[in-house]
Amino acid sequence: MALRALVTLLFVPLFLSPATFGYSQANIKKWCSQTPNPEPCEYFLSQKPNFHNPIMQKSDFLTISKKLALERALKAQSNVFSLGPKCKNAREKAAWADCLELHEYTHHRLNKTIDPNVKCSQTDAQTWLSTALTNLETCRPVPYTVPSYKHGFPTWVKPGDRKLLQSSSAPKANIVVAQDGSGNYKAIKEAISAASSQSGRGRFVIYVKAGTYKENIEIKLKNIMLVGDGIGKTIVTGSKSVGGGSTTFNSATIAVVGDGFIARDITIRNTAGATNQQAVALRSGSDLSVFYRCSLEGYQDTLYVHSQRQFYRECDIYGTVDFIFGNATVVLQNCNIYARYPPNKINTLTAQGRTDPNQNTGISIHECTVKAASDLVASQSSVTTYLGRPWREYSRTIFMKTYLDSLIAPAGWMKWSGNFALNTLYYGEYANTGLGSSTANRVNWPGYHVITSASIASQYTITNFISGGSWLPATNVPYTADL
């Protein structure tokens, strides 16, 4: 809790004007009173009298806070490691392993905010701090009761095409993967291992020829690019699920955390099925990651946009319950979102997980299409499909200029549990079309908004929401910068 509070308080100095604190030295209590969590702030600052220089301005306070958070992160990582022997079964052991990994990522992100050799803008800092908090939350038990088909992360605390390569815009492949032996390797995992010794500072391209690759892959290297032969041609498939004994976090067929990841023209599937609960096809915690002309296929929890800044363009996404979920700052553009037939007769497209109002996270769905998948079309009248529901207290999701077909329920949005988050969430709809786009009978929650102002909607565009103009051009992926 102390580490979470320390990470949370770091957001405040990013936004307060210098006048808020003044430029004279102030006592610890005065500084900490401006934060969301004064008590842990006061405690940890007072425990480190020689840890910092005098606090003269907000930048001093931010630096001190980041150093403290990093110190506590290292301590927390050590504490989590010591809990391994206390795990009673395979499920607890798997969840413990997830938490170890997440604490490692938290340490890495916090360190980047204070490393003088790392370029860190205000947006970068807010993104990485948001990610640190998301990592910690992923290790927490869900603090409220949810029905069995809803997801909460089990933890140790509580166990619950070639043409592309020939185009001028695509880089030359460094490694070729082909099941028929015509490439350098037959498995994608082998190519990733080879990349660890061959990759340098530039982008490393792995071309995966057409075929079905039954693998679960984790990519930690930076600037990796996977290029396939097209949707339905190059297929990566796995079947891990919570129902099968995995954690949600570790069920992904492909999981990426190395920054700058790009995937093009690939299908990523989780074939666990509709009744095996949470089963992730793709999990991304890769900052500045891009997915272009990919198909992401599963049922519950298909696409886990876990954290960082992400962009999806011309992708197909299939699922049932909460099948686009997580706490990244993400834009989906010109994508097809297909709801499948769910066992419980209820579909929810999104479940966004922002836990703090200062996090710059959210799901923005822009110029996409929402329709029933082929298995749902015939039974559409017996299934209720919602745009989303609030997984966490400050859940934020926006649909803009998107075609919503008749499968969308008139109310639009679904509660999670009772009145949880209805006042604090932010759900918005702007200039959508289609039989399911009418807002006449939408929910009347305080956090729901029918957006009529272009200036408000523009906050959730490529330019403003993920600062795409500074990094997307280098990926050679098309995008619409603004509304």
Query: CA 357, 358, 361: angle at the middle one, nearest 5?
Result: 85
Q: Is the CA virtual torsion 363, 364, 369, 370 positive or negative?
A: positive
Q: Which two tokens stand for residue 66?
A: 């980041």
- β-sheet with 384-388: strand ranges across: 217-219, 254-256, 282-284, 303-305, 321-326, 346-352, 384-388
Strand partners, 185: 177
Measured between alpha carbons, how far is residue 88 from residues 103, 152, 332, 387 in Å? 21, 19, 40, 38
CA distances in angstroms from 309 to 12, 158, 238, 257, 402, listed in the order given: 20, 29, 25, 11, 21
CA nearest 173: which of 159, 184, 158?
A: 184
**CA distances (Å), 181 to each of 177, 214, 227, in order?**
8, 16, 17
Give the DSSP H/E element, type plus range, for residue 337: strand 336-339
What is the number of H-type helices and E-type strands within the chain? 13, 26
Mark whether 322 is an active-site residue: yes
Task: Measure the CA–CA gap between 36 and 288, rounded to whole angstroms.
Answer: 29
Go through the chain and tell me how many residues it has. Answer: 483
Catalytic residue among 322, 375, 405, 482: 322
> Which token pair is 158?
């509580």
Q: Which residues pair with 371 in a beta bridge?
A: 338
Beta-strand relationship, 303-305 and 309-313:
unpaired
Please check whether residue 331 is in contact with residue 352, taking contact to mean a CB–CB distance below 8 angstroms. Answer: no
Residue 401: C-alpha distances to residues 217, 306, 320, 367, 370 (Å): 34, 24, 22, 5, 11
Q: Just list the catalytic residues.
A: 322
